[in-house]
Amino acid sequence: MSSVTLYRASGLALLLGAALVIIGLPMSFFFTPDSPLALAMIGVWTGGVVLVQLGLPGIVVRQAARAGWLGAVGFLLLFSGGFLLASFFAVLDLTVFPWLDVRAPLLSFQFFTANSAVHVYLAVVSALFGVGGVLLGIATMRAGVFPRWAGLLLIVGLVSLGAAFVNVLLIVTLVFGMIGLGWIGYALVTSNDEAIPQRVAA
């Protein structure tokens, strides 16, 4: 399989994944927690996160010659944060929370507000997203392989996401990050097989 095919596959995964997250996450709040439509939307945005995870390696490989260690570290942190996010919310939102939100809403609320283990978990995920998004965004802007505005959207969206978990601001800021990733995905889909030269030090 050629590198062009791999880049385009990564780009398609990023494009589709970003679109599914942008559509599915807000829509999941419009329905009652235990309704089939709410569960379907949770499945949609969770599937989007998985696709984004599959597409992320294409970003770091494509700009590796110029992004260097900064891009690699940013990718690792962002990938780890995405894995922890998807595994946490996918399992709970598809199994436990729909039942609790209807039959024991106070318990569902206390799960987040009075559970120190959850606080630590979300703090770790927030740090991974925030730091990873900033590093990968900076590396993307410096490398110049992908649109620099996409890197800026990645920084704004994911660092804000790390600072504002599970609220309305989460959705708004996440859209910026997903637009940035989708933009990079489009660049991967339309890229050719030209090698990216190593940046020459001044």
Which DSSP letter does residue 51 get? H
Query: Rounded mean pLDDT of the chain?
Result: 82
Determine the pLDDT at residue 161. Answer: 64
Q: What is the 3-state secondary structure (H, E, C) of 5-22?
A: HHHHHHHHHHHHHHHHHH
Measured CA to CA, the distance from residue 157 to residue 51 in angstroms comes to 18
Q: What is the mean pLDDT of residues 128-145?
A: 90
| Pairwise pLDDT comparison (194 vs 104), residue with the higher score | 104
**Predicted TM-score (pTM) of this structure:** 0.81
Give the distance from CA 47 to its chain's centroid. 11
Cβ neighbours of residue 116 closer than 8 Å, sequence gap 6 or more: none
Q: What angle do CA 123, 129, 131 make, to 5 degrees?
A: 95
Q: Tokens 């894995």, residue?
A: 83
Alpha helix positions (H), the chain: 3-27, 36-62, 64-94, 97-103, 105-113, 116-143, 148-163, 168-189
Q: What is the mean pLDDT of residues 128-151?
A: 91
